Amino acid sequence: MYDAIIVGGGPAGTTTATRLAQAGRRVVLLEREPFPRFHIGESLLPCSVPLLEKLGVRDAVANAGFLPKYAAEFVNADGSFMRRYPFADGLVRGIDSAYEVDRDRFDEILLDNARKQGVEVRQPAEVRSFDIGADRVDVELRTGDTLSGQVLVDATGQRSLVAARLGLRQMDAELKNFAVYSHYDGAKRGSGDHEGDITIVLVPDGWWWVIPLAGGRTSLGKVAPSRSLGGRRADGSYLDDELAATPYLCERFAGATRTAPVRTTSDYSYRSTRFAGDRWLLCGDAAAFLDPVFSSGVYLANAGGFRAAEAIDRALSRGRFSRRSFRSYERWLEHALGAYRQFVRGFYTPEFVEILMRPTDALALRQAVTSLLAGEVDRFSISWRIWLLHAIIRANRKWNLAPRIEGRREAAARLDREP
């Protein structure tokens, strides 16, 4: 009888499993794919770094050759205006950098560490079915083996094993976007502390990410509302055409070579109607997936894994496994997702981006935005400033509080008119 059965070996699953093992619990982790394997979501937030320290992997991550990331920058389509947010300028001191990672290697480091910390890892191990009973959870594998435990943690990412079976997933009607992306060799990048900056390039119908990786590779992807495709396929031809139509990217990627397949994800923003139940929890992307513009995915997986492990450890100590036992975890996740979702929704409105590109230092609002971009979602000193910022953004919709960004309001109005 395991204390916890965790399905999924990504950051959410390995974090939850490792923290439970560190608390002396008997944990088995089931991962269906052999590692290493490709995964998108390559930009970490600074608030993940202290969590990596507690997991026991900070040195391994630091020594893996990943590029340090000291800032996020936002650039308009022709490169004529840029706003850089160095994490060291945030309200919270001491959390000033993160990493741009290859997820195949990063996830493998976390999984290997889970083994070292005492987690029983079965890989590849695919779940055929599960049964949540009054006194235990049973999980049957494709091999025919059956495992029993006190609690089931679904960390299966967008596949979302439990949420799919229970019909909990709700797509976000306001964030029906697509992403098309690949890797390139030879793109231009900054030097020194600027080399690892993630760049968000603003175009009228959406945005691009530019993430420098180790070895001279760069991850490039475009995100936009699905209806902006106008019947086109989001494939390699589309990616090439859109890159050629963006002057800033033309300059950075002149002479660069695409070295990976072009991948596409569509209509991907969703959340589950609840994140826990009797003897089960959802963690990471299995619970919800937000738009990637603020790189919150891995951080929410790591931080959520810590919170999930704390809730499960308390439940095990008390011998109570009802949904009520996991309410603290659900409340935290609802709060964290709400904070980022409000920012993400705002990003697709012109009035938000205009303020983001020209932030004010009044009442330390710029510093609060920097801290949120670093992953700080739990401090009142930041949350009230973000609330005030959203009030200013709403006012900017009517009054010209910041210079307009050419083409963005027109594109937003055009998309609003389309069915």
Instruction: Give the integer Cα–Cα distance in Å for 218 and 236.
Output: 16
Beta carbons within 10 angstroms of residue 113's beta carbon = 20
Residue 397: predicted pLDDT: 84
Which amino acid is located at 209 in the chain? W
* CB-CB contact of 180 with 262 (8 Å): yes
| pLDDT at residue 110 greater than cutoff 60 | yes
- The tens digit of pLDDT for each residue in 171-223 reads 888 888 999 999 999 999 999 999 999 999 999 888 999 999 999 999 999 99
In order, the DSSP letters of 56-112 are: T-HHHHHTTTPEEE-EEEEEETTSS-EEEEEGGGSSSTT---EEE--HHHHHHHHHH
Question: Nearest-CA neighbor of 344 among 99, 98, 177?
Answer: 177
| pLDDT at residue 134 greater than cutoff 90 | yes
DSSP bridge partners of 69: 98
Instruction: Give the integer Cα–Cα distance in Å for 269 and 257.
Output: 30
What is the phi/psi pair of residue 57, to 5°? -120, 5
In order, the DSSP letters of 213-254 are: -GGGEEEEEEEEEGGGGTT---SHHHHHHHHHT-HHHHHHTT
- What is the length of the chain? 419
Residue 139: predicted pLDDT: 97
User: What is the topology classification, in CATH, of domain 173-266?
Assistant: D-Amino Acid Oxidase; Chain A, domain 2 (3.30.9)
Residue 415: predicted pLDDT: 56
**List of long-range contacts for 187-192, beta carbons under 8 Å, 24+ apart:** 187/212, 187/218, 187/220, 187/252, 187/253, 187/256, 188/251, 188/252, 188/253, 188/254, 189/218, 189/252
* CA-CA-CA-CA dihedral for 285, 289, 290, 291, to nearest 10: 100
Report the mean per-residue pLDDT for the chain. Answer: 93
Would you place residue 230 in the very low, low, confident or very high pLDDT band (cuts 50, 70, 90)? Answer: confident
Which amino acid is located at 193 in the chain? D
* Lowest mean pLDDT segment, chosen from 149-153, 203-207, 387-391: 203-207
| pLDDT at residue 317 greater than cutoff 80 | yes
User: What is the topology classification, in CATH, of domain 2-66+101-172+271-336?
Assistant: FAD/NAD(P)-binding domain (3.50.50)
Would you place residue 267 in the very low, low, confident or very high pLDDT band (cuts 50, 70, 90)? Answer: low
Q: Would you call 153 helix, strand, or coil by DSSP?
A: strand
Beta carbons within 10 angstroms of residue 400's beta carbon = 9
DSSP bridge partners of 154: 7, 282
Domain residue spans of the chain: 2-66+101-172+271-336, 173-266, 347-417
DSSP bridge partners of 189: none
Would you place residue 419 in the very low, low, confident or very high pLDDT band (cuts 50, 70, 90)? Answer: low
Instruction: Give the integer Cα–Cα distance in Å for 271 and 170.
Output: 6
* CB-CB contact of 276 with 282 (8 Å): yes
- The tens digit of pLDDT for each residue in 45-101 reads 999 999 999 999 999 999 999 999 999 999 999 998 899 999 999 998 877 999 999
Mean pLDDT of 358-368: 91
In order, the DSSP letters of 21-45 are: HHTT--EEEE--SPSS---S--B--
Percent of the chain topping pLDDT 70: 96
Distance between start and end Cα atoms, the chain: 53
Beta carbons within 10 angstroms of residue 193's beta carbon = 14
Mean pLDDT of 30-53: 94
| pLDDT at residue 410 greater than cutoff 80 | no
Read off the DSSP letter of residue 273.
S
